[in-house]
Amino acid sequence: MTGAPSFPLVSHAHFAIGEVVRHRIFEFRGVIFDVDPTFANTEEWYQAIPEEIRPSKDQPFYHLLAENGESSYVAYVSQQNLLPDESDEPVDHPAISGIFGPYKEGRYELRREHRH
């Protein structure tokens, strides 16, 4: 076999649903509630990211219930921009209780009705 493979490289998620993470550059943290194996948002959203910090599309992207010092919101973040959150503090987001059970040992467990 010669040349490069004709299929995309398989990327592996480093983080799991229920895990609390923080952004590598911006001051926010959140709990992961979904994972896309590669970029799955709009091109408009992607182009709105400043080019000098725009992540590669061929990596996992995570949906977070996020919080910062001012508000709570949903964030979509590339794997390269996430780090484990070591604060051992729960995330303050109003949607958490509808998806997850209590915060225990640094993570949240999905409620039974959300598992598949």
The sign of the torsion formed by the CA atoms of 18, 39, 59, 11 equals: positive
The sign of the torsion formed by the CA atoms of 31, 36, 37, 39 equals: negative
Give the model's pLDDT for residue 115: 72
In this prediction the pTM is 0.87
Give the model's pLDDT for residue 52: 93
Q: Over its length of 116 residues, how does the chain's per-residue pLDDT go in tens digits?
A: 455 444 455 568 999 999 999 999 999 999 999 999 999 999 999 999 999 999 999 999 999 999 999 999 999 999 999 999 999 999 999 999 999 999 998 899 999 887 76
Give the model's pLDDT for residue 6: 47
